[in-house]
Structure 1
Amino acid sequence: MAKTAFLGLGVMGFPMAGHLAGAGHQVTVYNRSPAKAEAWTAQHGGALAPVPRAAAEGAEMVLACVGNDDDLRQVCLGPDGAFAGMQAGAVLVDHTTVSAEVTRELAEVAQAAGVAYVDAPVSGGEAGARNGQLSIMCGGAEADVARAAAVIGAYAKICRRMGPVGAGQMTKMCNQIAIAGLVQALSESLAFAQKAGLDVADVVEVISQGAAGSWQMVNRHATMASGSFDHGFAVDWMRKDLAICLAAGDELGAALPVTALVDQFYKDIQVMGGGRWDTSSLIARLVR
């Protein structure tokens, strides 16, 4: 069992850190809002730290799951950041979906400090985190990813090395690009069915058995048709992720026309007041 630190106890990090404790790892947590850290330790035991540096001191592995590039920099860098407390040979695992730029930046800082760095964004949403069924895509040296996998297996359905540092974030971009187009197509299909006077449940039961079937169709069609959008990953976060994808596409010379279009559709949802709705809310533009 490993001595670990977990930084960030949001809707994903809270249950992920809980799975670590449940698997027998020694866990110290840090959260920007101390009340969440207090609630976590009340439920799972372990310890809480006032700053990331204190959480990271003596830890073999430090895991971060925060909001964006700036949040990740804040918990890693500076006199109170995790790197200031990590010992040489420890591993920092970043579960945040962030840009390739900040991944390269922090990996360089880690290397200079003798600390291993693994970028390991996750897919599976809040339900996957609660159930310990996340898909985790890792970038880093083979030995470093193997060390990380032995710990994060506590909440992973699949954990795979995709290549060197940065490959995990690039794979997560592929994931978000695929989801964006898929949810828009599903939204159009369901809205079309409604306008045609068809029974949405019957339509989905038939077409989900063929080439059109998807996880989103099976698990979200009913709530999409009813206008219920309180099921996890928020539009505001999706737009953050799609901005990362589009910037990387420009850097790589990869055309992402559908992704760019759907990003603007999500902007429409924000204007409608749906920034905290889940990503399936794209249908709300079509059924007003």
Structure 2
Amino acid sequence: MFELIDIGVNLTDKRFRNDIEDVVQRAKAAHIRAMLLTGTSLSSSEQAVALCQQYPEYLYATVGVHPHDASSLNDQVLDELFALSQHPCVVAIGETGLDFNRNFSTPDEQVLALNNQIELAKTAKLPLFLHDREATSTQINILKPFASHLEGAVLHCFTGNKDALFSYLDLGCYIGITGWVCDERRGLELKSLVKEIPNDRLLLETDAPYLLPRDLPFKAKKGRNEPAFLQHIASSVAALRHTSIEQLAAQTTTNTRRLFSI
């Protein structure tokens, strides 16, 4: 029997509002041993911690402010995030990073928010949960001086090129792979790169309700991704790495427990 851990679930999203218990039970039935709920704002971080308290030792959380909302990060929010980070279910700071694709917050606001959350991670002694979209070189340059002072980091939902992959690996980052790898249009480069990720740096995630795998053999309820589909993603990754799902599950579960101390 294999077990998987989904390191990226947006269970506070409104698309899960009416059936969280069913989603959790389907995940358990699909060999999902634990899930990490992603905090993307102070509000969603608070909601994630509250959900963890309903499912102790099954749900864990990150707390942070997504680059889209970087303009909302001020000293008061940082203080409240630090207080949240002391809860035993909180295992990382983030989702933080840079997103220069849409710039819902300005690049300067995003850089400031990232630096503040790096300091928060150092103070809280927690790893970073990182986002990167069209900002790799800037983000790498920001992270590089801090790499040896962090409790680790994962580049969540990696979709970059080979240079980006090895830049993050060189910093000691783990790499999170989602159902993007199941996309026959956008995921071709990622398919070729998955086998390049060292065994001890690979993590798996759904990013549910987003990034529904396009090649699911059935129609997803409400057209929504959910943690139970991590098994499908794991099978795809295992095939690309020429290994069994059992071996992949054992390795990625070990990696997840190591990084997040769960």
Q: Normalised by the shorter chain, which TM-score bucket?
A: 0.3 to 0.5
Relative contact order, higher structure (CA 8 A, sep 6+): 2
Q: TM-score, normalised by structure 2?
A: 0.33
More helix by share: 1
